[in-house]
Amino acid sequence: MPTVTRRLRDPDINPCLSESYVSTRCVAENNYDKESCSFHFLKYKNCWKFWNPPPMPMTAERDKILGAMGKMPY
């Protein structure tokens, strides 16, 4: 597996891993019609906006932050 792919699948590097999987699966299930998956793309984009400011916390810390908020902020 290439290094870039491995890094994108690492939850410590990619905080929006689940949103990425959901949007990719949605596109594949809808015959690559991006309009029908716009909600998932927007959620993925908002996830990156939320977690992108440096420095990004590690996975365990992110889970604590989200737990304290009570729900997903995006």
* pLDDT score of 52: 83
Among 49, 47, 3, 53, smallest CA distance to 22 is for 47
**pLDDT, tens only, 37-70:** 999 999 999 999 998 877 888 999 999 999 999 8
Record the pTM. Answer: 0.72
* pLDDT score of 1: 74
Confidence category of residue 11, pLDDT binned at 50, 70, 90: confident
Domain map of the chain by residue range? 3-69
Tokens describing residue 28: 């594949």
